[in-house]
Amino acid sequence: MKGKRLLGALALAFVGALTLCALTWAGDDIKSRAMLRGLGPISLEVEDFDLELRDQLKRGGLTEDGLLAAVERKLQAAGIILLSEEDPQKAPFPSVLYVNLQILVPEAKYTYTVQGEQISKDKSAERHFYRVDVELRQTASLLRDPLIKGPVTTWSTGSMGFRRLPRIQADVMDQVDAFISAYSGGGPK
């Protein structure tokens, strides 16, 4: 019984920490930015949402196609050349900007405390737990055998939190902005 209480208290503390702010991390330093130097056109891949959540997320205004289009517009506005799905092999060094948004919808039967306020059971589904990862994957070869090649993540950033869908989408765009800054040669964060 004590173990369950401790586990429940730890879970509540974790949820409480997530609700106060979004946690952000980055593989964005001098070394990872150096790996972006000379990078040509890139491909873009937005991971598909969980099949069970697609309809609910769509009702909330968030779709894979909409997210893909928003990221494409932001990258193109920054002057980053994007390859179409058919073009990746045309690039001398194929690179992919990978965007993965995972969303967990809390069950409406629970009540959550967020920043000191009580959220009623019928409003809890307005906020979602989420994690977003934005990674640049480039083809690399092994030093011991240069013929062995494969994709590796050479730059990354991400965050996680407990927010409403519009703020989650804005957070994805914030992570894309971090990539644009790194790609454009801005200083490390």
User: Taking residues 146-174, what's their average pLDDT?
Assistant: 91
177 or 30: which carries more pLDDT confidence? Answer: 177
In Å, how far are 35, 75, 84, 104 from 70, measured between CA atoms? 25, 9, 15, 22
Residue-number span of the structural domain to which 153 is assigned: 2-183
115 or 54: which carries more pLDDT confidence? Answer: 54
Residue 171 confidence (pLDDT) above 90: yes
Q: Which two tokens stand for residue 40?
A: 């040509």
Decide if 7 is inside a domain. Answer: yes
Decide if 177 is inside a domain. Answer: yes
Decide if 98 is inside a domain. Answer: yes
Q: Which of 32, 45, 43 is nearest to 156 (CA)?
A: 32
**Domains identified in the chain, total number:** 1
User: Taking residues 48-67, what's their average pLDDT?
Assistant: 89
For 108, residues 6+ apart whose C-beta sits below 8 A from its C-beta are 121, 122, 124, 125
pLDDT in tens, 110-131: 455 555 555 555 554 578 899 9
Decide if 188 is inside a domain. Answer: no
